[in-house]
A and B are shown apart, each in its own frame.
Chain A
Amino acid sequence: MFRHVAQNLGSRNTSIQSYRLLRTRWERGYLKDLYHRRQILGADPAISRSSYPNWDYDSELYAFGHRIGAPEISEDQYIKALTNESFFQRADVEENVESAQPGAEVGTEHNAELVKRGEQNLSIWLKRYLRFHLAKAPEELIEAIDSHLLDDECLAGIASHLGIDHLVRTKEFPISQESSADAFRALAGVFSDEKVKNLVIDFIVPQLVDIDFADIYPLADPLAVVTDLLKSNGVTEIEPRVLRSAGENSAEPIYVVAIYADKLKNVGQSAGESLAIAVDMAAREALLRLWDITSEKVLFFGDRAANVPLERYSQPNFSLSQKCSPGTNTNIIDHSQPVESPDNLIEAVLRYRNVVDAEVGKSYTKRLRHKFSRGSLAKRSFRYLVKPKPYTVA
């Protein structure tokens, strides 16, 4: 009899469901208060991925090797490449703790030497690829692209996407861009020549898709450079011309300038908000066009790039300083100099009053006051907003 009653009580049909959405009156304010205290406290500190229970360093290294395209590299070499020099200065590593995070035996080797070798390998193969595609460009441009693609920020982005951030053994947490980029370089130091080539083609070269070459290599005097280069090609006269202009007296003037060779051929054209800027942009456009860097250039990726014999492009391209005349400034814009101070304030006010105001006129702020007011719905005073409440006291 007792058992029968127990079975009935244990049945699901007799259970009472309670609704969890409704709260009592005291509970609403209580929960709001908890919420706002939590907001004041801020976020929890970040925890390394290796602290979670689902983490196995050996499996991660195995998967990482396949992800990066080099599964035949041994685990010891990967561990050496991913071990930073500062790892051995950690307190728990110094005290010989068992299985220091993120994993593997502590060991004694680090990746300082591999980083240097990897940096050289990456630079060699990237320059070969760039020389293959930009055969007419000067070596200075190739150096600029190389330093842009192989700097810490770009390499750290690639490393983060490949999952290197969780695997690097280092002292700091969270890992810095420098350590992440160093780990990527160390991997290039461990790989064989063929693997480094594939690494460059698969992960570094696609970053070229969104690069603006005029921003990477900003010449200080592009018009003089393009003049010298065209004259060495047989052109006798180079002059910039204004093709279009609009809005000279407005806040956003525009000038379209083209560089003409021998008064007939348009070798570069661009727009700018002042004549000097437009001439500069047109000269840069002329240089890029002269070096065959246009928007319809097709870059090789994947197998198409891997089949190219890149070893033949080890010799540097021509240098700008050789082709330009000695007096031409071939340096890059120096951003350390202070920017010139703006025009005199009184002159600006007088120019606005005499030139701009005479043409543009006054604005209709008073006539269109209904578009500038906050309407009737918000005409109440702000006292109820400013009233002190627990969650507004920070």
Chain B
Amino acid sequence: MPSVPRVDRLKPIYTAAKALNFGWRFSDFLKIPAYNGISRYTNQLHRITVRFCKQSESSVGVRNFIENQLVEIGRKNPSVVIYAQPVRNSNPSIRAEYGNGRTLQINAKNMTQDEVSKDVHLLFSRSGEPVVKLESRQSALVPSIQGQWTPITWLPTEMNTEQLPAKQFSKHKSTATSATEYILQNPPK
């Protein structure tokens, strides 16, 4: 019998998934997949599969999209393979596969042609990373110019030779005029 038994509860799985922060990633920083775009931009979408039914009413939008726009999109994006799969009595769907191995699928049931076009454009413009709340909207490849602060930063060099504790290093510094300084500057008459 294991000392820590595996208990049938959703909470440990959920907690583990949050700790892994992958499939259920909630917040993250901006990322560059494989340094894409630093030297040359490469479309991260590798394959897109449009699945539809030739007779079904719910596939009308997808069929119209295939007739009117799919060939032109394929011509403009030669680095993406486009598959069209007619499957009888199936739900229309659009599946995209990205360079980092992830797959995204959109259910296109009862969509109009414009909606399908908008979703295909979304799939083309993504990098395959999950959509997350951003921890910060800015990120930089170059580290800070002046560096990270440490307790040793901006220490005066006189402390090297002075024997601590010394009065000059323990004095409180302030830009406001203290009462003592005020009286010294304005002696009473």
Contacts and interface: CB of A to CB of B under 8 A. Distances in A.
B81 A56 contact: yes
A256 B85 CA distance: 65
A172 to B, nearest CB: 18
A207 B8 CA distance: 44
B1 interface: yes
A67 B43 CA distance: 7
Nearest to A198: B40
Main SS at interface, chain A:
helix
Interface in A358-394: 385-386, 388-389, 391-392, 394
A306 B34 CA distance: 20
A75 to B, nearest CB: 14
A327 B135 CA distance: 53
A6 to B, nearest CB: 21
B78 A63 contact: yes
Contacts of A162: 42, 99
Contacts of A385: 5, 7
A49 to B, nearest CB: 8
A352 interface: no
Contacts of B6: 391-392, 394
Contacts of A243: 160
B34 A66 contact: no
B78 A71 contact: yes
Interface in A49-65: 53-54, 56, 59-60, 62-64
Given A63-B78, A385-B5, A203 B85 contact: no
B39 A203 contact: yes
B143 interface: yes
Range class of the A interface residue count: 35 or more
A389 B34 CA distance: 46
Contacts of A207: 35
Contacts, number: 87
Contact of A246 (B47, B79, B151): B151
A209 B141 contact: yes
Range class of the B interface residue count: 35 or more
Contacts of B42: 67, 162
A209 B38 contact: yes
Given A63-B78, A63-B79, A254-B152, A209 B7 contact: no
Given A71-B78, A388-B1, A392-B6, A158 B39 contact: no
A201 interface: yes
A202 B152 CA distance: 41
A305 B39 contact: yes
B38 A301 contact: yes
Interface string B82-121: 0101000000000000011100000000000000000000
Contacts of B152: 244, 246, 254, 256, 271
Interface string A276-313: 00000000000000000001100001100100000000
A316 interface: no
A206 interface: yes
A244 B155 contact: yes
Contact of A206 (B39, B83, B85): B39
B148 to A, nearest CB: 11
B83 to A, nearest CB: 4
A204 B159 CA distance: 48
B179 interface: no
A160 to B, nearest CB: 8
B33 A302 contact: no
Interface of A: 32, 36, 53-54, 56, 59-60, 62-64, 66-67, 69, 71, 157-158, 160-163, 201-203, 205-207, 209, 243-244, 246, 254, 256, 271, 295-296, 301-302, 305, 385-386, 388-389, 391-392, 394
Lowest 3 CB-CB distances: which A-B pairs, in order? A206-B35, A301-B39, A202-B40
Interface of B: 1-2, 5-8, 33-36, 38-40, 42-43, 46-47, 49, 78-81, 83, 85, 99-101, 141-143, 145, 151-152, 155, 160
Given A203-B40, A296-B145, 14 more contacts: A54-B83, A66-B79, A67-B43, A158-B34, A161-B36, A162-B99, A206-B39, A209-B141, A256-B152, A302-B39, A305-B39, A391-B6, A392-B1, A394-B2
